[in-house]
C-alpha cells in the first residue's frame, strides 16, 4: 500500500467508520423492526463487527503508522489543522481499543446485546429479577473493561468509561458541578412550585390523539426545524433515540394516544441530535475528526432545540395553531399561553425522558452516583432497585411504585453504556450557554423562531458547532463559540429567568 503513514491511517479509519456505520444501522433495526426471535443472531452479527473493528485498531501496523505519522507531523511542512486533529483523535480511539483484548470486546458486545433483549421484556413485565443475571454479567465485564482502560490511560476506572463518551471528561469536575446544582435546585424547585401553585390550573388538551396524527404533526415540525427526510426517517421504539449515520439519520419516539406532548417533545429533542449529525463536516466523513465532539456537546444540541427553543413562548406561539389544526384541538387548552404553561410546568416525576428542566438534573445526578458506585464495587446490581428508590426519595421526594418506573426505565446500563449519564446535564448547561451566545451574536434569531424561521439559529450552529466536528476539544469549541468555558451560572440564570421572572 502506497502513501504516507498519515494517508494510510485515513484509509484504515475510513474502513473502521464503515463498519461502525453498519453496526449503528443494525442497532437501529434491533430497536425498531427486528422480530424478537432474531436477538441471538443479531448479537452474533454485532459481536463480529465489533471484533473486526477492534482487530483493525489493535493491529501492530496501526500503532506503527500512528508513531510514524506523529513523528512526521512535527516537521515544518507537516499536517494541516484538520489532519493534526484527526491524528489526535485516531490516537485517542487507538488507546481505548488497545486497552482490551479482542475476546473482552466480543464478550461485552454479545452480553450487552443479550441483556438489552432481556431488558425489553423485563421492562414491559416489570420484572427486574428476570434481567438481573444478565445485568450482573454485563456489570462484571464493564468493571473489567474499566480497570483495563484505567491502567492504559492512567486515570480512574470510572473516568476511563466516561472518557469514551466525553473525551477529556473527569469525574472530579462533574462532582463539583453536580454538587453545585444539587445545592441550587431544591430551593429553585420549591420557589417555582409555590409560584405555579398560585396560578390558575393548566388545562390539559383532551385526547385521544391518534398515533398517525401525532406522527404527522411531528414530521411537520421536524421539517420546520430543517430535518432532511431524504437523509433520515422517523420510527417507533421502546426508548427514543437518534441513531444511524450522518447521511442516514434514524430518529425514534414512542407515542401515547392520551397525551401527545411527550412524544412531540421527544421527537424535537432527537431532531436536535439529527441536525447535528447531518451538519458534521462532509469532507471528513468516516474520519474521527469528522465525528461529533463528545456526548455532552451532542446532548447540548438536542436540549438546545427541545428546551431552549421548542419550549419557548415564541416557538409555541408559532406551533400552537399547527397543533390545533393537525390534532383537531379546540378551546382554551390550545391557546399559546396555556401550551407554554403546560410545557414549562414543573412537576417531579418518575421518568427521566419526561422530566421538566428543573427536575431533570436530579434524575441524572441519581444515575451518575449509582453507576459510579457500581463500577467501584460499592453497589451490586441486585441492590440497584432499593438504591434507586432511596435516591429518588432523597432527590425528588418520590418513591417509584415499581421497577418499570424505576431502575428498568433506561436502556443504557443493560446495553453496556456506562459513563454516559452525566453528559445529559453537562449538555443542558452547554445548551443554555450556546443559545445565549447565539442570541447575543444575532438577536434576530429569536424573532425568526417565533415565525417558524430557523435559518438564523441553524446558520449560527452550523458555523460554530456542527461544521467543526472534532477539530477542537469540547472546551476549545465552547470558548471559541461563547467566549468562555462551561459556566454553570448561565444555566442557572436561564432557569431563574424562565421560571421566576
Residue the block writes with cell 473527569: 170
**Contact residues for 186 (Cβ-Cβ < 8 A; gap 6+):** none
Element (H, E) at 253: strand 248-253
User: Is 42:89 a contact under the CB 8 Å cutoff?
Assistant: no
Q: Give the number of other Cβ atoms within 10 Å of residue 277's Cβ.
A: 24
* Spatial distance between the Cα atoms of 63 and 79, rounded to a whole number of angstroms: 18
**Contact residues for 66 (Cβ-Cβ < 8 A; gap 6+):** 5, 9, 87, 90, 91, 94
User: Is 317:336 a contact under the CB 8 Å cutoff?
Assistant: yes
**Contact residues for 345 (Cβ-Cβ < 8 A; gap 6+):** 196, 202, 356
Q: What is the 3-state secondary structure (H, E, C) of 294-329?
A: HHHHHHHHHHHHHHHHHCCHHHHHHHHHHHHHHHCC
Q: What is the 3-state secondary structure (H, E, C) of 369-411?
A: HHHHHHHHCCCCHHHHHHHHHHHHHHHHCCCCCCCCCCCCCCC
The residue from 70, 106, 116, 270 that is catalytic is: 270
User: Is 307:357 a contact under the CB 8 Å cutoff?
Assistant: yes
Distances (CA, A) of 200 to 72, 160, 226, 259, 311: 69, 49, 36, 21, 19
Q: Which three cell numbers stand for residue 328?
A: 383537531
Q: Tell me if residue 63 is catalytic.
A: no
User: Is 146:372 a contact under the CB 8 Å cutoff?
Assistant: no
Element (H, E) at 428: helix 422-441
Q: Which three cell numbers stand for residue 496?
A: 431563574
Residues with catalytic roles:
270
Amino acid at each position: 500500500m502506497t502513501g504516507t503513514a498519515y494517508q494510510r491511517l485515513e484509509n484504515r479509519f475510513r474502513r473502521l467508520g464503515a463498519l461502525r456505520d453498519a453496526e449503528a444501522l443494525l442497532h437501529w433495526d434491533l430497536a425498531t423492526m427486528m422480530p424478537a426471535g432474531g436477538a441471538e443472531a443479531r448479537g452474533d452479527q454485532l459481536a463480529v463487527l465489533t471484533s473486526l473493528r477492534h482487530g483493525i485498531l489493535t493491529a501492530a501496523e496501526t500503532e506503527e503508522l500512528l508513531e510514524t505519522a506523529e513523528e512526521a507531523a512535527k516537521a515544518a511542512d507537516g499536517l494541516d489543522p484538520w489532519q493534526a486533529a484527526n491524528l489526535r483523535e485516531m490516537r485517542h480511539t487507538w488507546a481505548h481499543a488497545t486497552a482490551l483484548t479482542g475476546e473482552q470486546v466480543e464478550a461485552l458486545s454479545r452480553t450487552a446485546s443479550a441483556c438489552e433483549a432481556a431488558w425489553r421484556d423485563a421492562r414491559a413485565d416489570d420484572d427486574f429479577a428476570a434481567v438481573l443475571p444478565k445485568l450482573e454479567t454485563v456489570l462484571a465485564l464493564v468493571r473489567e473493561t474499566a480497570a483495563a482502560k484505567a491502567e492504559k490511560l492512567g486515570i480512574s476506572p470510572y473516568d476511563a468509561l466516561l472518557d469514551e463518551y466525553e473525551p477529556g471528561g473527569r469525574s472530579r469536575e462533574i462532582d463539583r458541578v453536580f454538587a453545585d446544582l444539587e445545592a441550587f435546585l431544591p430551593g429553585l424547585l420549591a420557589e417555582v412550585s409555590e409560584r405555579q401553585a398560585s396560578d390558575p390550573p393548566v388545562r390539559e388538551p383532551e385526547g385521544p390523539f391518534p398515533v398517525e396524527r401525532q406522527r404527522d404533526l411531528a414530521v411537520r415540525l421536524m421539517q420546520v426545524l430543517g430535518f432532511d427526510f431524504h437523509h433520515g426517517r422517523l420510527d417507533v421504539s421502546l426508548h427514543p433515540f437518534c441513531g444511524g449515520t450522518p447521511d442516514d439519520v434514524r430518529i425514534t419516539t414512542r407515542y401515547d394516544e392520551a397525551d401527545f406532548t411527550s412524544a412531540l417533545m421527544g421527537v424535537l429533542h432527537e431532531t436536535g441530535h439529527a441536525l447535528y449529525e447531518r451538519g458534521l463536516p462532509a469532507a471528513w466523513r468516516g474520519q474521527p475528526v469528522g465525528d461529533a465532539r463528545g456526548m455532552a456537546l451532542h446532548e447540548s444540541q438536542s436540549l438546545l432545540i427541545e428546551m431552549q427553543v421548542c419550549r419557548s413562548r415564541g416557538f409555541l406561539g408559532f406551533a400552537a395553531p399547527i397543533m390545533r389544526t393537525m390534532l383537531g384541538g379546540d378551546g382554551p387548552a390550545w391557546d399559546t399561553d396555556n401550551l407554554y404553561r403546560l410545557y414549562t410546568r414543573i412537576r417531579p416525576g418518575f421518568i427521566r425522558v419526561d422530566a421538566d428542566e428543573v427536575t431533570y438534573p436530579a434524575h441524572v445526578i441519581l444515575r451518575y452516583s449509582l453507576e459510579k458506585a457500581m463500577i467501584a464495587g460499592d453497589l451490586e446490581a441486585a441492590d440497584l432497585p432499593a438504591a434507586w428508590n432511596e435516591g429518588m426519595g432523597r432527590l425528588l421526594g418520590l418513591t417509584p411504585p415499581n421497577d418499570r418506573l424505576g431502575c428498568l426505565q433506561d436502556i443504557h446500563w443493560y446495553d453496556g453504556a456506562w459513563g454516559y449519564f452525566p453528559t445529559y446535564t453537562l449538555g443542558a448547561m452547554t445548551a443554555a450557554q450556546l443559545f445565549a451566545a447565539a442570541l447575543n451574536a444575532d438577536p434576530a434569531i429569536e424573532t425568526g423562531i417565533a415565525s417558524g424561521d430557523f435559518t438564523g439559529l441553524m446558520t449560527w450552529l452550523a458555523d460554530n458547532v456542527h461544521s467543526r466536528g472534532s477539530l477542537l476539544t469540547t472546551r476549545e469549541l465552547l470558548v471559541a463559540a461563547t467566549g468562555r468555558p462551561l459556566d454553570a451560572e448561565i444555566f442557572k440564570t436561564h432557569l431563574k429567568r424562565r421560571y421566576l421572572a
